[in-house]
Amino acid sequence: MFTWAIPIYTPPYPGYGASSALVPNVAVGVMLFMAILSLITIATSIYTNKPLPKEEREFPDDLEDGGGFTQVGRVNLYHLASIMIPCMLLVVAIEHIGYMLASFAFLMILQYVIGSRNWIQSIVLSILLTVVLYIVMRYGFGVPVPGPQISE
C-alpha cells in the first residue's frame, strides 16, 4: 500500500534538500526487506522440511515455553468484532443523537457484550459514567461534548 501511496501522495522534489519521499521510502524499504527476509526463512524451512526458528513462528503462543508477558496468540475475530462494532457505531451515533443517548446505549451494549447480565448494575454504571464524564468535560475542562448539545 505504501509503495503505491508514496509516489502519489508525496510532494514533488522542490530542487533543494532531500526528496520528501526519501525517508518514507527508507522506512518502507526496511519493512519490505525484513518481510522478504522472513518469507525466505519460511520458504526455506518448508523446502528443507525443517521447523521454523521459534522467533519466526506465526503464533509463538503455541510454544511450550511461551507466555510471560508476550500476548501473542490466535485472533478471535468474533470477540474483536463484538467490541469494535459498538465503538464504531458510537462514533457515528454520537454526531446524530448526541453524547448522552449514544454513550448510554454504547455502555449498555458494551457491558452486555462482555458478559454483564446484571441490568441494574449496567444501567447505574452507564448513567453514572455518562454523566460524570459529561460534567468533567463540560465544566472541568470547558470542552463541549461531541454531537448535539443538551441545550440545542
Chain residues binding other proteins by CB under 8 A are: 2, 5-6, 9-12, 14, 16-18, 20, 22-24, 26-31, 34-35, 37-38, 53-56, 58, 60, 68-76, 79-80, 83-84, 87-88, 90-91, 94-95, 103, 106-107, 110-111, 114-116, 118, 121, 125, 129, 133, 137, 140-144, 146
To the nearest whole angstrom, how small is the minimum distance from the Cβ of residue 61 to other proteins? 9
Q: Which residues touch 140 (CB under 8 Å, ≥6 apart)?
A: none
CA–CA dist 113, 11 (Å, integer): 45
**Comparison of 46 and 72: residue with beta carbon closer to other proteins:** 72
Q: Which residues of 69-91 are buried (b: 16+ CB within 10 A; e: fewer)?
A: eeeeeeeeeeeeeeeeebeeebe
Which C-beta is closer to other proteins: that of 71 or that of 151? 71
CB 122 within 8 A of CB 112: yes
CB closer to other proteins out of 97 and 146: 146
Give me the least distance between CB of 9 and other proteins, in Å please: 5
Angle between helices 119-135 and 99-113 (to 10 degrees): 140
- Given a contact cutoff of 8 angstroms between Cβ atoms, the answer to whether 45 and 52 are in contact is yes
- Give the nearer residue to other proteins in terms of CB position, either 40 or 46: 40
Supply the minimum distance, in Å, between the C-beta of residue 6 and other proteins. 7
CB nearer other proteins, residue 74 or residue 152: 74
Rounded-to-integer distance, Cα 90 and Cα 93, Å: 5
CB of 148 to other proteins, least distance (A): 13
